[in-house]
Amino acid sequence: MKPYLIVLNPVAGKGNALKLVPRIEEDFRKLGIAFELVQTQYPGHGIQLAEEGCAKGYRGIIAAGGDGTGNEVINGLMRAKVAGKDIPPFGALAVGRGNDLAYGAGIPTTLEEGCALLAKPRYSPMDVGLVNGGDYPDGRYFGNGIGIGFDTIVGLEAAKMSHIHGFLAYVFGALKTLIKYPSPPELELVMGDEVRKQRSPQLSVMNGTRMGGTFFMAPEARNDDGMFDLCMAADVPRRILLGIIVKYTKGTQGESPDIWFGRVPKLTIRALNGGLVVHADGETICINGKELQVECLKHRITAICGKEDAQADYS
């Protein structure tokens, strides 16, 4: 049996990923899974490791970390694919902070279940997003989604918290952001023949369903339908925005008249005034951007996942 390549980010989960290496190795050996494990050494290293791994005949390339690690592995796979190479399936061991990419892809978010899935893998096609603009004029791929405005600042605040981990860091980050959030920009969304202009503190462009470990920005999204699910909040007083944030945790924000949902395969996003603060899978795209082009690339990779309709064979 061909081995998996495990790309592990040792600082994921505030360093918890590194502590879990002995357990990962033990579980794989007990399950009879052949593997090679490499650790990333700097930001972006996972992209290089994944791209190089595509030429080595691995059974799959597994991101062991959080959303950022998964994002780097997906970017490495896509670079290889664009170069005309065959790429192996994408998998994840969710040992990071939010693990939203894994959740949205139907990948188990516990280590035990993740290892068990890799012992008896099932496969499903997965869409990949591409965003051009900001610090990435040549493009950056993503697997779960991009956030503009409020949720990006929440992620930045959560990352600063050294003594609070997991979804609680995002909850406290949201409260802190709510207190100091500046006046939001006026956004222009160009979606084919439709143009929407709205001052908004938050816009999510989702391939998956969840961000921040607990906020269901697009509860009906699928990552295999060739479409993004959009969720945009109106410019409302902070007490109303707080209520909307609570609804995000339940995925019931659609009950609010101040929330707009859309579903599109691609769009252009412009800041008519102010700037765009943007992340993709938790990775900063820009902090004062003016325009982004975002496109959903249908079925670009194969994911090792636990979806009910996933297939037991891969070719």
Residues 11 and 114 in one domain: yes
Looking at the fold, whether 78 and 169 belong to one and the same domain comes out as: no
Residue range 240-292, pLDDT digits in tens = 888 898 899 999 999 999 999 999 999 999 999 988 999 999 899 998 999 99
pLDDT-based confidence at 165, cuts 50/70/90? low
Q: What is the mean pLDDT of the chain?
A: 90
Count of structural domains within the chain: 2
pLDDT for res 163:
60
Q: Does residue 260 form part of some domain?
A: yes
Task: Give residue 144's identity as a one-letter amino acid code.
Answer: N
Same structural domain, 112 and 140: no
What is the span of the domain harbouring residue 283?
A: 133-299
Query: Could you give the 3-state DSSP secondary structure of residue 213?
Result: coil
Tell me what pLDDT residue 256 has.
95
Helix (H, G, I), strand (E, B) or coil at 1: coil
Q: What is the mean pLDDT of residues 168-181?
A: 63
102 & 199 share domain: no
Q: Which ranges of 13-165 would DSSP assign to H, the alpha helix? A: 16-19, 21-31, 45-53, 67-82, 100-104, 111-119, 150-159
Model confidence pLDDT, tens digit, residues 189-226: 999 999 999 999 899 999 999 998 888 999 999 999 99
Work out the widest C-alpha separation in the chain, in whole angstroms: 58
pLDDT digits (tens, 9 = 90+) for 20-37: 999 999 999 999 999 999
- 275-303 burial, b at 16+ Cβ within 10 Å, e below that, comes to ebbbbbbbbbbbeebeebebbbbeebbbb
pLDDT, residue 241, reads 84
Looking at the structure, tell me whether residues 187 and 251 fall in a common domain: yes
pLDDT on residue 196: 97
Is residue 163 assigned to a domain? yes
**Helix runs in 41-149, H state only:** 45-53, 67-82, 100-104, 111-119
Same domain, 178 and 244: yes
Q: Are residues 150 and 281 in the same domain?
A: yes
Structure letter (DSSP) for residue 14? T
User: Phi and psi (nearest 5°) for 56?
Assistant: -110, 10
The answer on 154 and 48 residing in a single domain is no
The answer to whether residues 98 and 36 touch, using CB atoms and an 8 Å cutoff, is no
Cα-based angle 212, 222, 240 (whole degrees, multiple of 5):
45
- CATH number at 261 reads 2.60.200.40
Q: Is the pTM of this model over 0.85?
A: yes
